[in-house]
Chain A
């Protein structure tokens, strides 16, 4: 059987390339229409990853950079599932995250924010989903921080998330936010998404059932990648 194509991407759920209020997007946004193609093997396949690619502590941000102590801040579990649009789990796929520390400071040579670096916190992690598409990280809740888009612009607390899926056409980078953060409606990056329900789906929710008493709180964030067409009367990749 030849592999089936993926559903077309519903671009109304994504921020457009050009969001005038997000100033950096103005000169970095293509102005000509995207080229429409029929997917081929180049789009339906994609890189695969295995446990040999990652280390045992890669999904524990409280330990994977620690220099003999614990990072400062609210300890938390981030967990959820990677699913496709057909609600099928996406197993064995690589999930990578990066974030600021509890002070809102990134461990990056280009970040000069006043918030303090934490000697025990790097801010990156990665893991593979299990056979049911589940993933989990242990980390610190990131702080909000200012950025120069406009006067008094602040990013809400967020964690950057990168996901592969099984095909190059499923590749996705997003950011997750936290339930109840009053900065979400003020953020030009978030509000570049035209569909309010699509914004809601970027907000991780407190999950007391997954929290560990006397240790850490948990937040749940499910990720949905593009799904595949059924093959009932499918035009085949070859032939037809």
Chain B
């Protein structure tokens, strides 16, 4: 027998289930326990940047909206800085910027939306730049392990051509699943398709 490596094993994921709201958005479950729910404000008023709304649906393999999903998003500020101690430029991050948000899909329609600012490009590996994007993480009943994807902006075509994540998608047609549609001057539509035609690219982060 060789020596043991001794690493611990990651705890297994389990579905968030249909009642995820109780823990993570109790107001939606129908009661208030906490003085404040987390993830409501990504970029408070006064944070510099272009104010935008992002909205859409999560669609299942039959094309039906998923009405009990929870999405979390993580993004950089308008200068491409993450509010995290390991971002080398964190000292310059916009004051009050949280960068993280949490939304649920509507119980009746499946529609979700959040307000934020448009992120700037962020550093990639090996001196490359990443096109502006918002990272998504999605859970619901029937999803056994959280799904990660990214949303890019349609006006950044030149940056998309060199973005290390978008360009690593083998089939160019699938890259479009990670690019939102502008439906109004500051509104972006980003539908996530879990399965079937136009299945969103999900990332093993």
- Residue numbers of A with Cβ under 8 A of B are 2-3, 7-11, 13-17, 19, 22, 24-32, 34-49, 53-55, 58, 64-65, 83-87, 94, 96-99, 106-111, 122-126, 160, 162, 166, 168-169, 171-175, 189-190, 192-193, 195, 197-199, 201-202, 223-227, 235, 237-240
**Residue on A with the closest CB to B100?**
A47
Chain A binding surface SS class = loop
Listed residue (A41, A94, A123) with the most chain B CB atoms within 10 angstroms of its CB? A41
Q: Across the two chains, which residue of chain B brings its CB closest to A123?
A: B22
Give the distance in Å from the alpha carbon of A172 to the alpha carbon of B205 in the complex: 12
B23 to A: closest C-beta gap in Å: 3
Contact of B86 with A by CB under 8 A? yes
Give the interface SS of chain B, mostly helix, strand, loop or mixed. loop
Q: Is B143 an interface residue (CB 8 A)?
A: yes
User: Which of B33, B61, B203 is packed against the most chain A CB atoms within 10 Å?
Assistant: B33
B204 at the interface (CB under 8 A from A): yes
Residue of B nearest to A52 (CB): B36
* A38 partner residues in chain B, CB cutoff 8 A: 125, 164
B13 touches A15 (CB 8 A): yes
Contact between B23 and A28, CB atoms less than 8 A apart: no
- Contact (Cβ within 8 A) B60 A27: yes
24 pairs, CB–CB < 8 Å, chain A vs chain B: A2-B88, A13-B12, A27-B60, A28-B194, A29-B61, A29-B144, A31-B199, A34-B202, A35-B165, A37-B164, A41-B76, A41-B122, A45-B86, A47-B98, A49-B38, A58-B33, A87-B7, A106-B22, A173-B16, A189-B15, A192-B144, A202-B12, A225-B11, A238-B125
Chain B residues 63-103 with CB under 8 Å of chain A are: 64, 66, 68, 72, 74, 76, 82-88, 98-100
Closest chain B residue to A44 by CB distance?
B86
Contacts of B11 in A (CB 8 A): 172, 174, 201-202, 223-225
Across-interface contacts of A13 in B (CB, < 8 A): 9-10, 12
Q: Are B145 and A15 in contact (CB under 8 A)?
A: yes
The reply to whether B9 and A35 contact each other, CB–CB distance below 8 Å, is no
* A124→B12 contact, CB < 8 A: no
Min CB gap B62→A, angstroms: 6
Question: Shortest Cβ distance from A32 into chain B, in angstroms?
Answer: 5
| Interface hits, B129-152 → A, CB 8 Å | 130, 133, 135, 137, 139-148, 150
A224 contacts which of B9, B66, B125, B205 (Cβ < 8 Å)? Answer: B9
B2 at the interface (CB under 8 A from A): no
- Given A42-B82, A58-B34, A111-B19, 4 more A-B residue pairs with CB atoms under 8 Å apart are A32-B199, A35-B204, A41-B123, A123-B22
Q: Which residues of B contact A166 (CB under 8 A)?
A: 84, 86
* A174, B17: Cα distance in complex, Å: 10
* Contacts known (A47-B99, A198-B12); A15 close to B144, Cβ less than 8 A: yes
Q: Which residue in A11, A107, A126 is a CB contact (below 8 Å) of B31?
A: A107
Q: Which residues of A contact B147 (CB under 8 A)?
A: 17, 30
Q: A27-B61, A162-B24 are in contact. Are A224 and B84 (CB under 8 A)?
A: no
Contact A35 B23 (CB under 8 A): no
B107 touching A30, Cβ below 8 Å:
no
Specify the chain A residue showing the minimal Cβ separation from B199: A32
Q: How far is the CA of A193 from the CA of B140 in the complex (A)?
A: 17
Q: Within 8 Å CB of A35, what residues of B? A: 165, 168-169, 201-204
Partner of B20, one of A9, A98, A190, A225: A98
Please report the C-alpha to C-alpha distance between residue A17 and residue B140 in the assembled complex, in whole angstroms: 12
CB pair A25–B142 under 8 Å, yes or no, is yes
* Contact partner, A42, options B14, B74, B202, B204, Cβ 8 Å: B74
* Smallest CB separation, A91 vs chain B (Å): 12
Please name all residues of chain A whose beta carbon is closer than 8 Å to the beta carbon of B100 when the two chains form the complex: 46-47
Residues of A within 8 A of B36 (CB): 53
CA distance A55 to B33 in the complex (A): 10
